Amino acid sequence: MILRTLIVDDEPLARQRIRTLLNKEDDVELVGECCNGNEAVTAVREAKPDLMFLDVQMPVLDGFGVLEALHADRLPAVIFVTAYDRYAVRAFELYALDYLLKPFDRARFTKALDRVRAQVEKDEFAAKSKHVQALLQDVYSRHRPLERLMVKSGGKVTFLRLDEIDYMQAAGNYVRVYVGAEMHLLRETMNQLEGRLKDTPFVRIHRSTIVNIDRIRQLQAAFHGEFAVTLDSGAQLTLSRGYRDKLEERLGHSI
């Protein structure tokens, strides 16, 4: 079997190193290289590689963010490329995932690649995907509650305290963050942002909307189990039926 392979790393030299090693493997076809997480998400969805070498530490959208943005059933086999310390590496080993600790030599590279080949022969991709999802839950559970968002625009960095934010809505590859009459664009996926907002006053009420529950003034029943949501600012949002349970859980009672 030919392993259709994608390389994801923000460092050109790191990509070149992996590419050089892959060129010596007869059963590997390189289908693309990505220099950031957003490119990687698009490439996986379009190219559907069998294997992805994924750098963990990348700006804006890191390796964990890439996996969070992809559905578990779409994940290729993953070899993490990381400069993390030994504690983080033990986490990869705990979940039986393949990794390369920078700097790595050819022998270690070949060992990781051989493990992927063994997965292919035994058709263990689905099991590996479950392990990746378990790792993501572990990673996010160790994060401290988020206190502010950092928004970059035009060479300027703006820090937004969470208690200032009314709500957020998806806008393509961005998220619109509404603070009173102001709107800021944050380059992040809704899934990744929702994961970072764990243990905060924010809850997802729609596929494209996350709201600060402390800003909700009124809920009005609408059609098909949906609710019209009015905020203190006067903004009108929609609570979809599929996200009603999440809001009820956060509020502590049914609506």
Residue 154 and residue 99 in one domain = no
**CB-based contact 17:63 (threshold 8 Å):** no
Considering Cα of 91, then 96, then 99, then 105, what sign does the dihedral take? positive
Nearest Cα residue to 198 out of 210, 207, 187, 208: 210
pLDDT digits 0-9 by tens, 105-144: 999 999 999 988 887 777 655 556 677 777 766 665 555 5
Considering Cα of 55, then 150, then 153, then 165, what sign does the dihedral take? positive
Which CATH number characterizes residue 40's domain? 3.40.50.2300
C-alpha to C-alpha distance for 41 and 194, rounded to whole angstroms = 17
pLDDT digits 0-9 by tens, 19-60: 999 999 999 999 999 999 989 999 999 999 999 999 988 877
**CB-based contact 49:75 (threshold 8 Å):** no
Residue corresponding to tokens 């990869």: 92
Q: Strand pairing partners for 34?
A: 8
Residue 108 and residue 156 in one domain = no
Residue 107 and residue 176 in one domain = no
Residue 97 and residue 125 in one domain = yes
pLDDT bin (cut points 50, 70, 90) of residue 94 is low
Residue 77 and residue 110 in one domain = yes
What total number of domains does the chain contain?
Answer: 2
Measured from the Cβ of residue 6, the count of other Cβ atoms closer than 10 Å reads: 22
Of the listed ranges 139-148, 198-207, 218-227, the one predicted with least confidence: 139-148
Nearest Cα residue to 62 out of 168, 155, 195: 195
Residue 155 and residue 32 in one domain = no
Residue 134 and residue 180 in one domain = no
Please name the amino acid found at residue 123. D
Residue 213 and residue 166 in one domain = yes
Domain-terminating residue out of 111, 141, 171: 141
Residue corresponding to tokens 């968002």: 149
Which CATH number characterizes residue 173's domain? 2.40.50.1020
Domain-terminating residue out of 85, 115, 141: 141
The two structure tokens encoding residue 84:
């993390």
**CB-based contact 56:81 (threshold 8 Å):** yes
- On the question of pLDDT at 165 being above 70, the answer is yes
Residue 134 and residue 206 in one domain = no
Residue 34 and residue 104 in one domain = yes
> How many CA atoms within 13 Å lie on the side-chain side of 227?
20
- The helix/strand/coil state of 57 is coil
Mean pLDDT within 145-168: 84
Instruction: Give the highest mean pLDDT range of 67-71, 126-130, 216-220.
Output: 216-220
Domain-terminating residue out of 93, 119, 141: 141
Nearest Cα residue to 197 out of 184, 211, 176: 211
Range(s) of the domain holding residue 31: 3-141
The two structure tokens encoding residue 79:
């070899």
Single pTM value for the model: 0.55
Residue 152 and residue 137 in one domain = no
C-alpha to C-alpha distance for 205 and 121, rounded to whole angstroms = 42
Residue 196 and residue 96 in one domain = no
